[in-house]
Amino acid sequence: MKRNRGKTLQLTLSYLVIAVMCVIILYPILWIVGSSLNPGNSLSGSSMIPSDATFKHYKELFNPAESDYLIWYWNTLKICILTMVLSVILVCLTAYSFSRFRFIGRKNGLMTFLILQMIPNFAALIAIYALANLTGLIDTHLSLILVYTGGAIPMNTYLMKGYLDTIPRELDESARMDGAGNFRIFWQIVMPLAKPMIAVICLFTFITPFTDFILARILLRTDEKLTLAVGLYEMISDQFGNEFTLFAAGSVLIAVPISILFLSLQKYFVSGLTAGGTKG
């Protein structure tokens, strides 16, 4: 009887903790969605379920005559996709080299990656700005793509290398006996088995440009080059910027591509995240 009561109490506490966490997570999301449906401009009278909800803010965002939101959205998507593709390619090649080959400086290289991943990009803002200025990349999307890609390599390489270490080397040796070269082994054998970790890296590198404000604010200048984070900030930061409900609608739409990517890769995430911490 006491054991059953203990299990019941433990289960009740577990559900209570889960319920509290759900409220903490969902409340701000529901509040910002409700604010985006509020017909006014102020957030002071917003509620999760507005009595006179309207989609006029969303229509205004998609009207090129009233807002540059679509331009900002396209700029951000372009940067996110290119950053994701370049990061995945470079990370996979680098991690494969560290995992399958033994060369001078291998351990020091891995240690350097561990140290670099502890340093955030904004800690090197002055250096990044100076390099962009010297190379003529100020106010270009290429500068952001290069910075985001470079910043994604250290941490993701270490995760991918740990995952590749769990793939048996016997597969490589069998393929090599059949005449396969290193690139064929990498492309046709190792990478298909590394899909879970590739999915994790895709999500991580895709989200970064959507959530970054500092680098984009420093490197971009003209309105047609802005990303969503900077564009939405400019919408409410000037002297007469009071379109807070329009800002809320723009914030809600940011979650759409991230959610689509997450749902499309969801089946790979659990195994990818749990296996990536293996040391080799």
The residue behind tokens 């010297």 is 134
Are both 122 and 211 inside the same structural domain?
Answer: yes
What kind and span of H or E run contains 181?
none
The number of angstroms, rounded, from the C-alpha of 4 to the middle of its chain's C-alpha atoms is 44
Are both 9 and 89 inside the same structural domain?
Answer: no
Nearest CA-CA partner of 226 in 213, 236, 237: 213
DSSP secondary structure letters along 37-100 = T-SSS-STT--SS-TT---HHHHHHT-TTT--HHHHHHHHHHHHHHHHHHHHHHHHHHHHHHHH
Are both 141 and 197 inside the same structural domain?
Answer: yes
Residue 213 contacts residue 233 (beta carbons within 8 Å): yes
pLDDT of 26: 86
Q: Which pTM value belongs to this model? A: 0.85
Q: Which domain holds residue 120?
A: 58-275
Are both 140 and 253 inside the same structural domain?
Answer: yes
pLDDT in tens, 165-181: 988 888 888 888 888 88
Question: Consecutive sets of 10 residues in the chain, 280 residues long: mean pLDDT of each?
Answer: 74 90 87 82 64 84 88 95 96 93 86 78 83 92 93 89 90 87 89 90 91 90 91 77 80 90 82 48
Domain total in the chain: 2
What Å distances lie between residue 248 and 27, 173, 231, 232, CA to CA? 14, 55, 13, 9
Domain boundary among 33, 54, 75: 54
